[in-house]
């Protein structure tokens, strides 16, 4: 009887302890995001590919190289750098105006100039090549760390 009671307390303790542990959130599986947008479809195929500064694929990407390569695959010509991509023709869009497939521009250093770019997926999420914790192509929320770094979006077509 004593060992059963000990086992139950151990089980309860483990459940309580593991409930407090930080959990890493994995990016959604490619099949969880459905899109008819050709740019988004191409981008989702690259989930998990590693980050490498200056890389434009196919095996490694940096943020602007990722956007540059995905756009090229669907027949859209873009400049190579995030700053140059942010200066393409078109209206600067607020968060309320962005839609799936739009480019999103960020000032991650908060120094007054664009230095990061991604592709909007909808539902406040975007795909990008991150040099941060994910260190690769990943999906992030606009409501987390990137919230105050977002500057504007741009429609591509």
* Catalytic annotation, residues: 63, 116, 128
Q: How many residues are given for the chain?
A: 157
Using DSSP, state whether 55 is helix, strand or coil.
coil
Q: CA distances (Å), 115 to each of 2, 11, 123, in order? A: 62, 49, 23
Query: Which segments of the chain does DSSP mark as H helices, in order?
Result: 2-20, 38-44, 63-73, 82-86
Determine the Cα–Cα distance for residues 132 and 26; give it in Å rounded to an integer: 15
């Amino acid at each position: 009887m004593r060992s059963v009671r000990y086992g139950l307390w151990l089980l309860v303790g483990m459940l309580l302890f593991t409930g407090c542990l930080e959990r890493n959130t994995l990016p959604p599986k490619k099949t969880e995001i459905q899109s008819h947008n050709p740019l988004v479809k191409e981008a989702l195929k690259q989930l998990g590919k590693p980050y490498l500064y200056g890389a434009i694929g196919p095996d490694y990407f940096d943020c602007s190289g990722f956007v540059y390569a995905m756009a090229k695959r669907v027949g859209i010509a873009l400049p190579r750098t995030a700053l140059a991509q942010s200066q393409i023709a078109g209206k600067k869009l607020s968060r309320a105006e962005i839609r799936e497939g739009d480019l999103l521009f960020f000032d991650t250093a908060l120094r007054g100039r664009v230095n990061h770019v991604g592709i909007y997926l909808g539902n406040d999420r975007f795909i990008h090549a991150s040099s941060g914790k994910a260190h690769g192509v990943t999906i992030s929320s606009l409501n987390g760390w990137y919230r105050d770094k977002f500057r504007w979006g741009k429609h591509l077509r």
